[in-house]
Chain A
């Protein structure tokens, strides 16, 4: 057993493990969006940024080391996370009042957890398409945060390769692997994990919307450190 010191508290872990894996096993909440315990880490959202032995790193792609000191709740780390979250909001078009994921959305939940009242950066309002060509699933790219969870779910769980990220920097966007680029012409099936894993309201299974009314949803009730990751397929 090795020991990690998180905000002064010692937690034991079995190497090899990343910082976030060690914390997750020990029940210490470390904010994250693109990480899930059962997929390989992607390291793109940076929301799990901590200071480990004095250096800022993404906890999902950094190995935990015996005796390592991790700062998770330091004021400046929290401020950086809030800025990262704000960037995710302004880079897309997140109209929560008009989004059926609202209340079950992990981006919202992490922002609520950090007490973000408003992203105060300049809004991009990027033109982003909506793909309603699939009979059972809709994709609204206005809300995609490029976490790659759908990409990994399709490859690692479904044994398919329906999604990938194309373009670079601000031009990065989700691409559907089909002749036409449309979801309806892809191999995606409603029973695929990729159809349900989106932590925000970008990939939405049809016919399930608003079964639980706004105000009584997962993160309306409990904060994410208690409620856990967004439930798969819950809209």
Chain B
């Protein structure tokens, strides 16, 4: 048990699509869990992050909590991976970057189509939004990037197998795409 590689995963400003794609490695999951054990991850529902070998981050950084979690991942994970378009360049959530936070909130909660009883959510538990969505490498150092929206399961598998064998991942032509 203890010689298993410890992996943590998290979804920041993402849609969980990358996590779904990870699950899409299908029966190879059985092979994967022979070699790795999941620490904090939506798969385990553990909330506390331990010392890990590999940290996988889906999604960009859109609020104060994302920044905190990302920094913690960098502190506790030896190898940190940006998984998917949003982690790499902000992705679709970063399309809000040409608007102010006020405009975005206004559109969603005040003036938007179908909004009833308009009010801006202000519960103190809600993390504050950043003025723009940022890719994770602008906040912490990233060791590897897995492109795709989401990265195909085969790309994720190529990544895992390489890393577990102690080599730098390489990808075939069709394993790299940005959409």
Give me the interface of A with B, judged by CB distance under 8 Å.
89-90, 93-99, 102-103, 108, 111-112, 115-120, 122-123, 125, 127-128, 214, 220, 223
Number of interface residues of B (CB under 8 A): 29
A97 neighbours in B (Cβ, 8 Å): 85, 91-92, 149, 178-179
Q: A96-B149, A122-B138 are in contact. Are A214 and B90 (CB under 8 A)?
A: no
> In the bound complex, what is the Cα–Cα distance between A94 and B90 (angstroms)?
10
Give me the interface of B with A, judged by CB distance under 8 Å.
82, 85, 88-92, 94-95, 97-98, 132, 134-135, 137-138, 142, 144-147, 149, 171, 173-174, 176-179
Q: Kindly report which residue of chain A lies nearest to residue B138, judged by CB atoms.
A: A122
Q: Output the least CB separation between B13 and chain A (Å).
A: 13
Cβ of B95 and Cβ of A112 under 8 Å apart?
A: no
Q: Output the least CB separation between A97 and chain B (Å).
A: 4
Q: Output the least CB separation between B179 and chain A (Å).
A: 4
Q: A102-B179, A118-B147, A127-B98 are in contact. Are A220 and B174 (CB under 8 A)?
A: yes
Q: Kindly report which residue of chain B lies nearest to residue A107, judged by CB atoms.
A: B178
Cβ of B145 and Cβ of A120 under 8 Å apart?
A: yes
Q: A89-B89, A223-B173 are in contact. Are A123 and B149 (CB under 8 A)?
A: no
Q: Output the least CB separation between B177 and chain A (Å).
A: 7
Q: Output the least CB separation between B147 and chain A (Å).
A: 5
A111 neighbours in B (Cβ, 8 Å): 178
A112 neighbours in B (Cβ, 8 Å): 173, 176-177
B98 neighbours in A (Cβ, 8 Å): 93, 125, 127-128
Q: Kindly report which residue of chain B lies nearest to residue A99, judged by CB atoms.
A: B179
State the main secondary structure of chain B at its contact with A. Answer: mixed
Task: Report the tally of A-B residue pairs with Cβ distances under 8 A.
Answer: 77
Q: Kindly report which residue of chain B lies nearest to residue A112, judged by CB atoms.
A: B176
> In the bound complex, what is the Cα–Cα distance between A162 and B98 (angstroms)?
27
> In the bound complex, what is the Cα–Cα distance between A118 and B146 (angstroms)?
8
> In the bound complex, what is the Cα–Cα distance between A18 and B177 (angstroms)?
32
> In the bound complex, what is the Cα–Cα distance between A94 and B176 (angstroms)?
16
Cβ of A95 and Cβ of B145 under 8 Å apart?
A: no
Cβ of A118 and Cβ of B145 under 8 Å apart?
A: yes
Q: A98-B95, A127-B98 are in contact. Are A117 and B138 (CB under 8 A)?
A: no
Cβ of B137 and Cβ of A120 under 8 Å apart?
A: yes
Q: Kindly report which residue of chain A lies nearest to residue B148, judged by CB atoms.
A: A97
Name, among A89, A115, A120, A122, the residue most crowded by chain B CB atoms within 10 Å (CB to CB).
A120
Q: Kindly report which residue of chain A lies nearest to residue B155, judged by CB atoms.
A: A117
Q: Kindly report which residue of chain B lies nearest to residue A115, judged by CB atoms.
A: B176
Instruction: Return 14 A-B CB contacts under 8 Å, by A number.
Output: A93-B98, A94-B89, A97-B149, A103-B179, A108-B177, A112-B176, A117-B146, A117-B171, A118-B88, A118-B137, A120-B137, A120-B142, A122-B138, A123-B135
Among A89, A117, A122, A125, contact of B145 (Cβ-Cβ < 8 Å): A117
B88 neighbours in A (Cβ, 8 Å): 117-119
Q: Output the least CB separation between B96 and chain A (Å).
A: 10
Q: Kindly report which residue of chain A lies nearest to residue B176, judged by CB atoms.
A: A112
> In the bound complex, what is the Cα–Cα distance between A110 and B82 (angstroms)?
22
